Amino acid sequence: MEISSFKKNILEKKYGRRSFLIGSSQLLLVGLLVGQMRQIQLNENEKYKLLADENRIDIEILPPLRGIIFDKNGIILAKNKENYRIRILREKNINLSELIDNFSQLINISKERKNEIIQKLENKRFNTPIVIVENLGWNDFMKVLVNLPSLPGIIPEIDLKRHYTQKEILAHTLGYVGVISPKDLKEFSNNDPIMQIEDFKIGKVGIEKGLDKYLRGQVGLGKYEVNASGKIVRKLGEEASSPGKNLHLTIDSNLQKFTMLRIKEYSASIVVIDLASGAIICMASNPSFNPNQFVEGISKKDWNILLESKNQPLANKAISGNYPPGSTFKMIVAIAALEANLIGEEELFDCKGFYELEERKFHCWKYSGHGITNLSKGIEESCDVYFYNLAERVGIEKIANLAKKFGLGISPILPLSGISKGLIPTKSWKKVYKNETWFTGDTLNSGIGQGFILSTPIQIAIMTARIATGLQINPFLIKAIDGRPIKNNKKQSLGISENTLNIIRKAMFGVVNNKKGTAFDSRTISENKLIAGKTGTSQIRQISEEERNMGIIKNEDLPRHQRDHALFTGYAPFTKPKYSVSVVVEHGGGGGKVAAPIARDILLYALSGAIPSIQEYPIEKRNDINLILKNIKKEMIST
């Protein structure tokens, strides 16, 4: 008993030790917990407080209003139109399918659309609302508003959508907006707040793209307290967005409309420049498209139609269309010759219908020839042989230098995309790009604006503007940003002698007003609205010797894509030039026959500020013109 109790005593002691060990190690572990809590709650308190706020506070990016675009007279071209739309936010414990079915009783939603919406919402990691219907009528919108209490998660709202009032009339210049595509992504960093806005639209082409940074504006921030599922509990503050800047363009939308109606049946492009400043008051390219289609999301089918259409409705041909300038280039050759003193005004060449260079014949467009020809006759009647002689004498380098002085072969600086540079060939150019030597034949072809030479309608209009003024006119499209006019530098002289220019101007006057001039049919009769200009018919096929002997096939008898381009460029009034114009009608045929009348009507419209009166036209033309003008008048009123 004694021993056993002694043993028991040892046991108890041992147990005491062990239980003490257990207890103290447990308390040590509790101490560890306290230490961890101290670390998190006291030492890192600030950091976690911030994180908790980040959790709690949701920042919504408020999209800015896009700037409005006006024409030069304050007519709205692009605005933000109200778009009644419905968005949906997934809330906890809500059966989405049922919700959409309920909603569908108010506004029909197809089965496929419904599945699409559900899938979209379920795939979203963050709970952000998505659009289910838009462009609702006021009545439908009200229906949803009234039934809102029974539709948890449905958010009706008024969104603003870009709208182009001119539709097809000014589509190419204005461009359109669209959602940010992967292609645009390199322009935006990922933390650009704009990226957080669903379906934010940016300028895609045209002015909308070129001046996007002005038009876009600054985003605002809305601060909300939200719960874990993203539902707003209350608003904490707001920093309003600042709208984009409004733009005034130099475009005269009435003239633009008239122009588009005038070339309705052609694949054509036109540029009109105000000579006082260089402002582009009209830039037309037909066929066109409706930019509003792109804002609403163009269907695949419509897109393909536009893409595959032969006349390229999506291209702004006024700045991107490359055409041989044809005879409109002859002024450049003449100026080059006169400036280099390589020819006298009255020096004569004999046109027998062709020019012979080393056994090869270079033909004049007039098979029988022009006979004895001086400079003004050469321009007025557009004698090719005269300009073969001149070109050979002047040489391609001098011609090219002068062409550049008049804006050919140089991209005009405009906030548009797809601007073409055109092409003014030189000997070194041919060596580098074609790996061939330059022949005199190339110079002869260049002398009549054929061969390698390419130019765009806007370049031709610039050329004419510079001829008419003798000043270095540079075109521009933006008149004012947010009401502040864009400064216009005083125009510098081109450095071409006034005497030379006057010779050319007089000849151009003869083109339209001399009985033998190529555009005599397109003359006007008012003293203060006389036109000077030059026709061009740019050939796009080779005419064989055989065909020449048999008689050249008439344009009307050729398949359309082989017909010549019809060109005309001019300015008016002759005495006090105000506007220059260039007209290119693709496969239109003769410049004098097709392009010149269009140019005449447009210049008359620009000069009179309205549909020209019939009194402006020669008596024998009035019947035909009356018909054309009447139709345009009708359409201008109806649109």
| Interface contacts to another protein, rule CB under 8 A | 7, 11, 14-16, 18-23, 26-27, 29-30, 32-34, 36-38, 40-42, 44-45, 47-49, 51-53, 55-56, 125, 225-229, 233
Distance separating alpha carbons of residues 136 and 570, to the nearest angstrom? 49
Q: Which is nearer to another protein, 47 or 434 (CB)?
A: 47
Close Cβ partners of 111 (under 8 Å, ≥ 6 residues apart): none
**CA–CA distance, 544 with 563 (Å, rounded to integer):** 15
Least distance in Å: CB of 50 to another protein?
A: 8
Cβ closer to another protein: 57 or 610?
Answer: 57
Query: How far is CA 320 from each of CA 207, 477, 484, 518, 565, rounded to the nearest angstrom?
Result: 15, 16, 30, 27, 15
Could you give the count of Cα atoms lying within 13 Å of 573 in the half-sphere of its Cβ? 12
CB of 412 to another protein, least distance (A): 52
Q: Which is nearer to another protein, 3 or 432 (CB)?
A: 3
Minimum gap (Å) between residue 16 Cβ and another protein: 6
**91 or 184, CB closer to another protein?**
91
Nearer to another protein, 44 or 199 (CB): 44
Closer residue to another protein in complex, CB, 4/542:
4
Least distance (Å) from another protein to the CB of residue 21?
8
Give the nearest distance from C-beta 14 to another protein in angstroms. Answer: 5
Question: Based on CB atoms, which residue is closest to another protein, 50 or 627?
Answer: 50
SS3 192: coil
Question: From the CB of 236, what's the least distance to another protein, in Å?
Answer: 12
Whole-angstrom Cα distance, residue 235 to residue 219?
Answer: 18
Smallest gap from Cβ 153 to another protein, in A, equals: 16
Q: Give which of 483, 484, 466 is closest to 475, Cα–Cα.
A: 466
Measure CA 265 to chain center.
Answer: 22
Residue 94 C-beta: closest distance to another protein, Å = 15
- The residue (of 51 and 413) whose beta carbon lies closer to another protein is 51
Distance CA 228, CA 55 (A): 8
Interstrand relation of 201-205 and 176-179 (parallel, antiparallel or unpaired): antiparallel
Is the separation of the CB atoms in 511 and 534 below 8 Å?
A: yes
- Of residues 44 and 302, the one with the C-beta less far from another protein: 44
CB of 8 to another protein, least distance (A): 8
Please spell the DSSP secondary structure of 514-531, one letter per residue: STTSTTGGG----GGG--
Question: 521 and 592 in contact (C-beta within 8 Å)?
Answer: yes
Q: How far is the CB of 274 from another protein (least distance, A)?
A: 59
Q: Which is nearer to another protein, 38 or 630 (CB)?
A: 38
- What the block records as the tokens of 27 is 């308390």
In this complex, which beta carbon is closest to another protein, that of residue 4 or of residue 139? 4
Least distance in angstroms from the C-beta of 26 to another protein: 5
Cβ-based nearer residue to another protein, 92 or 361: 92
Let me know: does 398 contact 336? Beta carbons within 8 Å.
Answer: yes
Strand 220-226 to 354-357 pairing: unpaired
Q: Are 460 and 328 in contact (CB under 8 A)?
A: yes
625's tokens = 């013109």
DSSP 419-476: ----B---HHHIIIII-----HHHHHHHHTT-TT-BB-HHHHHHHHHHHHHSB----B
With a CB cutoff of 8 Å and minimum separation 6, the contacts of 396 are 425, 426, 427, 438, 442, 443, 446
To the nearest whole angstrom, how small is the minimum distance from the Cβ of residue 91 to another protein?
12
Distances (CA, A) of 394 to 228, 444, 446: 80, 10, 11
517-530 b/e (C-beta count within 10 Å ≥ 16 → b): bbbbebbbeeeebb
